[in-house]
Amino acid sequence: MTDTRQIDSVTDAAAARAAAARLAARHGVPALERARLAATLGARLRQCLAEGGTWRLTLGVRSADSGGGALHAVLEPSPDASSAGEGTRWETTVPLPAADRPGGTGDSDSDSDSDMVPGDDPAALSQALMSADADTALVLDRLAEQEALVAFHRDELHQTNQGVLALHAELDAAGRAQREAFAAERRARNEAENARRRLTFLADASAVLNTSLNHGEIVRRLPELLVPRYAAEVGIWLFDEEDDPHHPMTRPAATVRAARTGRPQYAADHPGGLRGVDDLPPSVLHPDRPLLCVPLLTHRAPLGVLTLSPPGERWDPDDAVMLIELTRRAGIAIDNARRFEHNRDIAETLQRALLTELPTTPGLSLAARYLPATHGMNIGGDWYDAFHRPDGSLITVIGDVTGHGLHAAVMMSQLRTALRAYAVDDGSPGRLLTRLHKFLHRLQPNLYATAVIARFHPDEPTLTWAAAGHPPPVLRLPDGRVRALDAKPGAMLGIPLEQEIADHTEQVAPGSTLTLYTDGLVERRAEGIDPGIERLSAALGSFGPAELDTDLEGAADRILKPLLSDSERDDDVCLLLCHLQS
């Protein structure tokens, strides 16, 4: 079915548009497609009327290339009109629903007249216009539905965007909090590491300062510990060294103020911000660098002032606290060392005073050596003595009181005095040791001693000796042979035991040498006492008879040299040589 119309007026155009719409409606074209067809055709017809001339519109239903039915419209200039326009041919195709394909119930000649819209029938045109409005209203309803759907999705999208923005804000806040937590953790870790470093340094430096009992050594080591890590320069002012030409007499005002007030002072052109430290203007003597002046405090009074300049522009406050604490410990260490040195000097004076000069005896040479231990107070209970008795005999003794220090030295002095008093009576070496044993046990129940007493008589070729818990005497014979007098000794003096210490006798000829000694000469922790006695015997055997006759003092030194090769000694050493002239 086709419908062809000549169009040369607005009425013809309106009738043609209405016919196309009615035909599309007749064949079940959806309202949206009908409205689109009517709008497109109307626009094209208005263009044709504007161009002028006569146009022909052909409407029909035919099979489409895809196999379905379609409504086909062609608008072109009319070939019969002499004044036809020069416009372009236009055509369009609208697919039909399956039920309205060509050959279906809607494709009949009987219905063709119903699609016609006479151009001169206003009622028909009005009806067509109303039908077009209905399609438009349907399209508008569909459009309103779509707008409502779009608005719904717009709101949904907006809410989704708000949620996404909130989530991003939360993630950003969480990330910021995490970064701040990581930064705080790093700061805490760095602070903990710095605190550990400071405490380690403080502990190590304190150990170095307190291991020495020489205050000069402590003063020398202190700058070595601080430079260059914690100070660029260190100055130490000890109040009792004012007259030392090596120390400057002009000192910064902050140093003098620290000495007067006993408080740390900081002299610089900016506040130090150091806890417990007073801020002062920069030093006139050192205006270009800050100074931290810390007094060397003790339990009694300040010893001096430690003046430091920083390794950089200024100190870290925590480093300054550590330096103040180290200075306090250094002051205590110096004070302890000085008190020790004072006590040691007193003790050494007492020790030397108790070691009497050896007597002169015809036909008998004596040589003695005393070496204090290199650790501790340098005094102990080792002693030697030699004196004549009323009968003309010579008593030689060497002993060792347990312990070190002033107490051991005092007890050694009392034993020495008691022995000289007991020896006024005619007592043998064993009897003298027995009386000393009882004396010590009653006087100092918790103090013990060892000793060897040997008695020489100028008219007798016999040596009488006795020992109480002491290393055995060593006898060198005139022919160079050496042996230890290892007869069973008595127990230590002062132990809670009743004992009678026996005498021993030994025939001695001119040229013989008796060696008495304390265990500090022969005993070593790693090997015991026997190897030391063997070394002593070897040293005695290395001398010729003439050497001992002519230079017994030199022989004593040569004996000590191989036996005391180590410079460090944990115990006192006593040696007494008794040589019978040839």
pLDDT tens profile 176-187 = 999 999 999 999
pLDDT tens profile 22-49 = 888 888 888 888 888 888 888 888 888 8
pLDDT tens profile 487-520 = 888 999 999 989 999 999 999 999 999 999 999 8
pLDDT tens profile 338-357 = 888 887 777 677 766 767 78
Q: How confident is the model at residue 213 (pLDDT cuts 50, 70, 90)?
A: confident
Q: What is the DSSP string of 326-367?
A: HHHHHHHHHHHHHHHHHHHHHHHHHHHHHSPPPPPBTTEEEE
pLDDT tens profile 111-157 = 444 444 444 566 666 666 666 777 777 778 888 888 889 999 999 99
pLDDT tens profile 395-421 = 999 999 887 666 777 788 888 889 999
Higher-pLDDT residue of 443 and 307 is 307
Task: Give the side-chain half-sphere CA count within 13 A for 347.
Answer: 23
Q: According to the model, what pLDDT value does residue 248 have?
A: 57
- Structural domains in the chain, sorted by start: 2-120 (no CATH), 212-346 (3.30.450.40), 355-580 (3.60.40.10)
**Which element (helix H / strand E) includes 208?**
helix 122-211
Q: According to the model, what pLDDT value does residue 296 have?
A: 93
Q: How confident is the model at residue 100 (pLDDT cuts 50, 70, 90)?
A: low
Identify the burial level of 352 via C-beta atoms within 10 angstroms of its C-beta, where 0-12 means exposed, 13-18 middle and 19 or more buried. exposed
Q: According to the model, what pLDDT value does residue 24 have?
A: 87
- Kindly report the pTM of this predicted structure: 0.54
Q: According to the model, what pLDDT value does residue 325 have?
A: 93
* Phi-psi category of residue 509: left, alpha or beta, with phi > 0 → left and psi -120 to 50 → alpha: beta
Over residues 379-396, the mean pLDDT reads 87
